[in-house]
A and B are shown apart, each in its own frame.
Chain A
């Protein structure tokens, strides 16, 4: 069974590798990778937490809504664990 996750809709300052356009969006975990050092800490020379990295697959319908070019096409991105919460649906 595929795991559904939601990207946290938060906007902290700093070096962040969670794209703006995916914040608040829900997708399915395509595969789990890592652990890797967290970029928010690595970018500032801090000792980085190591976290799982999720490849999350979003539908274009979910990302762009009515403006989607083809709603069933998909977008995959790598999102660190602390940016994800279980999807509520």
Chain B
């Protein structure tokens, strides 16, 4: 009797075709050849290590440092701005220096904080690439880097915000900030009502990543 290899594969736990036992399709192994730029990255990295300019460990530490940044850092800045009027003023005047005093160094770049109020709503984009305040928010979400968001939010911001579930009244002015050069931006969302007397730690929990990009509001307390 001929052996039906195809069916057999589907039934064994080691099969890499069909559906997994959790009901999801198996993902292909990444066996494709390296692209030109992947080869280039490896070549440059190996050269820098051979020449003693950097080390494998330093590269890994840098990746680790980037992975450990998260929107929780930005939320600390927002909560402090809500609670400390002198800090808020310094933040709006010079966000690079004000956030550095909290230990968030943006390196060679500079930061601008834009504040949402009853009459103004700010939203951030980088139409040319994917500039993002990584030192305060960590890595950007995929949608932030995609052409759909980048091209549409500058032309129809209210429609895009509505798709995020944020419908703004007509008397609120929308200000879109296109990060075209050396500045990075963070939105300071409006402080929700009913948050008087909350601690910094409690306020931080109300500040989402999306609220600091400007596609959401800060969360109202329960």
Please report A residues at the B interface, Cβ cutoff 8 Å. 17-19, 21, 33-34, 36, 39, 53, 55, 57, 63-64, 67, 69-70, 72-80
A16: nearest chain-B partner, CB-CB: B128
- Judge whether B210 is part of the interface by a CB distance below 8 angstroms: no
Residue among A39, A55, A70 with max Cβ neighbours from chain B (10 Å): A70
Q: Is the CB of A70 within 8 A of B170?
A: yes
Q: Are B180 and A17 in touch, CB under 8 angstroms? A: yes
A69 and B174 alpha carbons, distance in the complex (Å): 11
In the assembled complex, B134 has its CB within 8 A of some CB on chain A: no
Q: Secondary structure of the B side of the interface?
A: mixed
Q: A72-B173, A75-B176 are in contact. Are A33 and B182 (CB under 8 A)?
A: yes
**What is the CB-to-nearest-CB distance from B163 to chain A, in angstroms, rounded to a whole number?**
13
Q: Identify the closest chain B residue to A70 (Cβ).
A: B158
Residues of B within 8 A of A (CB): 110, 112, 127-128, 154-159, 170, 173-183
A19 to B155, CA, bound (A): 13
Pick the residue among A72, A75, A78, A80 that contacts B154 (CB under 8 A): A75
Chain B CB within 10 Å — which of A39, A72, A73 has the most? A73
Interchain CA distance A78-B110 in the complex, whole Å: 12
Query: In the assembled complex, which residues on chain B have CB atoms less than 8 Å from the CB atom of A34?
Result: 182
Query: In the complex, what residues of B have CB within 8 A of residue A69's CB?
Result: 155-159
A53 to B173, CA, bound (A): 25
Pairwise interchain contact B180-A73, C-beta atoms closer than 8 A: no
Residues of B contacting A63 with CB < 8 Å? 154
Cβ 8 A contact of B178, one of A33, A73, A75, A80: A75
**B180:A21 contact, CB within 8 angstroms:** no
Q: How far, in whole Å, are A67 and B179 apart by their CA atoms in the complex?
A: 23
Contacting pair A33 B155 (CB below 8 A):
no
Q: Shortest Cβ distance from B149 into chain A, in angstroms?
A: 15
Complex A-B: 15 CB contacts under 8 Å: A17-B128, A19-B180, A21-B154, A34-B182, A36-B182, A53-B181, A55-B183, A63-B154, A64-B155, A73-B174, A73-B175, A75-B178, A78-B179, A78-B181, A78-B183
Kindly state the separation between the CA atoms of A41 and B157 in the bound complex, as whole angstroms.
33
Residues of the B chain whose Cβ atoms lie less than 8 Å from the Cβ of A33: 110, 182-183
Closest CB-CB distance, A11 to chain B, in whole Å? 15
Question: Which chain A residue lies CB-closest to B170?
Answer: A70
Complex Cα spacing A78 to B125, Å: 12
- Given the interface contacts A69-B159, A73-B174, A73-B175, does A18 sit within 8 Å of B154 by beta carbon? no
